[in-house]
Amino acid sequence: MFARRSLLLAGLLLSAAAKAQQPADSLPLADRNGFWNSQPVRISAVPLGFFAASALTWGERAEVRKFRNRYIPTFRHHYDDYLQYLPAVTVFGLNAAGVRGRHTVKRAFVSYAFSAVIMGALVNAIKYTAKVERPDGSSNNSFPSGHTANSFMNASFLHKEYGQYRSPLYSIGGYTAATATAIGRQMNNRHWISDVLAGAGIGILSTELGYIIADQLFKDKGARPLLHKDPLPVNNKPSFLEVRMGFAVATSRDLTPKADDLYARTGFNLGVEGAWFFHRNIGIGGEFAFTSFPIDDDNVSFDDPDIPVISTGHYTQPMGLRYLHAGPFFSVPLPRNWFITGKVIAGSSSGAQGDIMLQLNEEYQEVFEAPELPYLRYKPERAFSWSAGLGIQKRVGRNLGLKVYASYFDSDHDFTLDILSDIDTNGKYVFEHLGTEKVRFDHLAFGLGLTAFLW
């Protein structure tokens, strides 16, 4: 359950970061003509962030899916089929109600139509060229996610017509709906995480291109004057919300191949964090992060002579911990909207129960009425933890930043170990306590972050 919640929370913060694309005239004059504020960079910065995240998660997508199968294997709720359209319906509904947006209905519709054509062409061209199998095995058109592309295109449409024009709350609502659609595609086992990340990038990019074409056709016709114009210098207090995604590498001997025959492979790290800056360099904030390591147990052997008889192999479920930390955050502004960021924070970490599973042969699958059997069970207890991190960040819009980050996590956990002793008449597994073992869960995480500045 906690994996589902962390994905939901990360998605909601991702929507807040994505909504931060802003027009060029909201940047300080000195930076308007620079490379980072050129039109190609402005329209592609966020999509490229999503494409990079898709590439980073491609090799880990099966591991991410294991969490879905582990916690919500029977989830079947197709709200995503309808929610994807909500932001666009909102735009036309607001216009019908007399709430004016950035453009007239005619011009907004033309921009939307161009965006939809571009999005559909890109998605289908890639789908039927890449031919990636869906996680449920139903077809070979998984990559990228069309639902996600459509939902983020619609959210960007709402963002441009009302979020930039009237209130960022419209943007937050639209991107939250889009993120919920993307999460629904994974929870319904229709897409891999890399599919929805690429789909989000395509949806946002398609809207940007659709608006460029409409701008060339209409010029100033059908465009309404800006309601507000509020440029901000780089030296303001950089309070923020941020979502990040990257790799995790174990540094503790307890988790590395030097320990014994069971050790952690390269994993992934997801996190959301935010801070309120009371000074341009110092703030107070917190993070909610999650790290998971696939476990290599190829060299593990069991003393029980019955195991080779009933099973064809075994595997260990990934070890994952969630972190809730708070403390000081730091930011040092550099020329041309660059920042160096840092943090030293502490709190607690806790993890999910996991099993070493026996893969039963066909004869014993009939006996146990299951393809697998949990043989050993582990559970990390809650423990004190701390983390420290550094980042290099570039502000590419009034409210948007891109970051390359590296963080170190430190925690020592008591792992309780139990072994399967019986199966009762109701088919419930009964475990016997084996003991407790101390495990250091120290690791490095590095990757990319999207920042929404709260000026």
Contact between 292 and 324 under an 8 Å Cβ cutoff? The reply is no
Q: What pLDDT sits at residue 43? A: 84
pLDDT higher than threshold 80 for residue 314: yes
Q: What pLDDT sits at residue 222? A: 85
Does 240-453 match 38-218 at the fold level?
no
User: 291: closest CA among 240, 258, 249?
Assistant: 249
**Mean pLDDT of all residues in 316-324:** 90
- Domain 38-218 maps to which CATH number in 2.60.40, 1.10.287, 1.20.144, 1.20.120? 1.20.144
pLDDT higher than threshold 60 for residue 197: yes
The length of the chain, given as a count of residues: 455
pLDDT higher than threshold 80 for residue 84: yes
Contact between 401 and 453 under an 8 Å Cβ cutoff? The reply is yes
Angle between helices 193-218 and 61-71 (to 10 degrees): 110
User: pLDDT tens for residues 239-249?
Assistant: 988 888 889 99
pLDDT higher than threshold 70 for residue 32: no
The pTM for the full model equals 0.70
Domain boundaries, the chain: 38-218, 240-453
**Considering the domain 240-453, what is its CATH architecture?**
Beta Barrel (2.40)
**Mean pLDDT over each residue of the chain, to the nearest integer:** 86
Residue 393 or residue 225, greater confidence:
393
pLDDT higher than threshold 50 for residue 14: no
Residues of the chain with pLDDT > 70: what percent? 88
What is the C-alpha separation between 267 and 320, in angstroms, rounded?
9
Helices (H) and strands (E) in the chain, counts: 11, 14
Q: What pLDDT sits at residue 311? A: 92
Residue 33 or residue 409, greater confidence:
409
Residues of the chain with pLDDT > 90: what percent? 55
Query: How close are the terminal C-alpha atoms of the chain, in Å?
Result: 34
pLDDT higher than threshold 90 for residue 442: yes
Q: What is the DSSP letter of 22?
A: -
For residue 335, what are its two tokens? Answer: 């020329």
Q: What pLDDT sits at residue 17? A: 41
Q: What pLDDT sits at residue 447? A: 92
Using the CB atoms, write b or e for 3-41: b if 16+ within 10 Å.
Answer: bbebbebbbbbbbbbbbbbbeeebbeeebeeeebbeeee
Q: What pLDDT sits at residue 230? A: 53
User: pLDDT tens for residues 106-138?
Assistant: 999 999 999 999 999 999 999 999 999 999 999
Which range, 23-37, 254-268, 307-321, has the best average confidence (pLDDT)?
307-321
Q: Which helix (H) or strand (E) is 128 found in, with range? A: helix 105-130
Q: What pLDDT sits at residue 289? A: 94
Categorise residue 19: left if φ over 0, alpha if ψ from -120 to 50, beta otherwise: alpha
Q: Give the Cα-Cα-Cα angle 343, 443, 296 (nearest 5 degrees).
A: 155
What is the C-alpha separation between 140 and 129, in angstroms, rounded?
10
pLDDT higher than threshold 80 for residue 399: no
pLDDT higher than threshold 90 for residue 33: no
- Collapsed DSSP state (helix, strand, coil) of residue 213: helix
For residue 440, with 0-12 CB atoms within 10 Å meaning exposed, 13-18 middle and 19 or more buried, which class applies? middle
Mean pLDDT is lowest, of 189-193, 259-263, 384-388, 406-410, for 259-263
Q: What pLDDT sits at residue 154? A: 97
- 450 residue type, one letter: L
For residue 267, what are its two tokens? Answer: 């994993």
Q: What pLDDT sits at residue 228? A: 60
Q: What pLDDT sits at residue 72? A: 78
Residue 154 or residue 400, greater confidence:
154
User: pLDDT tens for residues 200-235?
Assistant: 999 999 999 999 999 999 988 888 887 665 555 555
Q: Give the Cα-Cα-Cα angle 386, 389, 395 (nearest 5 degrees).
A: 140
Q: What pLDDT sits at residue 2? A: 38
- Collapsed DSSP state (helix, strand, coil) of residue 317: coil
Give 29's pLDDT tier (boundaries 50, 70, 90). very low
